[in-house]
A and B are shown apart, each in its own frame.
Chain A
Amino acid sequence: MIRRQRRAAGLFLGPYLVLAFLVTLAPLGYAAWLSLFSEQSSGLGFGGAEQVFVGLGNYVRAVGDSTFRSGFVTVAAYMCLYVPVLIVISLLLALLLDSGLAWARRAMQVALFLPHAVPGLIAALIWLYLYTPGLSPVIGWLGGLGANGGLANTAPLASVVNIAVWQWLGYNVVIFYAALQAVPREVIEAAAVDGAKTWQVAVRIKAPLIRSAVRMAALFTAIGGVQLFTEPKILDLTSASITSTWTPNMFLQSAAFDRNDFGLAAAASILVAVLAGGSSFFVMRLGQKGES
């Protein structure tokens, strides 16, 4: 019986594990190998480019490149702004929806969630147009901020954060609202009987009771933030403030395709993968620890 199950387990798991190896570990391994060489490449596809073994030279060049380093600073600044803004506004809206005072709670949630159905690239395009003077119906209201080539140029970080918030706000509201609905009614009634006002119940009772949902959402948001690419890549078109190496992922693409420096690009992608994977792991552990 056990043996039969083991054989079946191989059959069920095998295809997934093989594919996962092929699209995760194999590319990383190959990139790690490539990162040890420098090539005079006229195109990787030809395979005839002269390759010179440079050891960790490409890593030294990547770490020594100030545009690569500043990409990480950008991502850090982005997360410091994005995570709190997203979480606080989502929580506020969820509490308002749950306050018993809101009209049409279901319709409001669908409306808030709808931007999440829009692919990130299209969301970025829409907002790019909304940031651009001439195309945008609102940019004129912003006065000086909107001049100078549009919002993406004068306030690049805020412009990118806004697009991300727009896409993820409803998602988090729905999660928080679901968590709030699960708060036992007696707790809230007891507080009301004790004379707590509605907003006090919300801030002092309900919000702390769903703190684990809030913490998890914050962690997942932070993990997603590391991937920053699409939105700035789109805004890059009109913004002089957003350079082609503004985030680490943009640096990778630029190193590989603008400069054809595949050794550098490979080394930098290994660094990004290790840092991104490491920080997700760290963040998960943090979440687990906070839990116990």
Chain B
Amino acid sequence: MAMTRIAAPAQATAGEIIQLKVLIRHPMETGYRRDLYGKQIPRDILKRFECRYNGETVFAAELFPAVAADPFLTFYTRATESGALEFRWTDQNGNVTSETRQLDVQ
């Protein structure tokens, strides 16, 4: 499991637009670099990030090798009801890293 850092508010008022910041530890190896001996370093990237709010996808990003290592994303969503915010990263081999945060909406 990759290390992740998520900044999401624990509480919000209904209708409020909340900011979500996510970071995941990942080399995002482009596949263009070569090692000391000139051997190509194979590509290893995260392909997709999704944010699900009570199961519904509210934001998604497709990532390419041009995204910097340790991909960092800031995005927004409107707080509608209390529930779970799930953050999912999928790498090129289909491995998923998932984190969940509870959001309490008054």
Q: Do A and B interact with each other, yes or no?
A: no
User: Footprint of A on B, CB under 8 Å?
Assistant: none
User: Footprint of B on A, CB under 8 Å?
Assistant: none
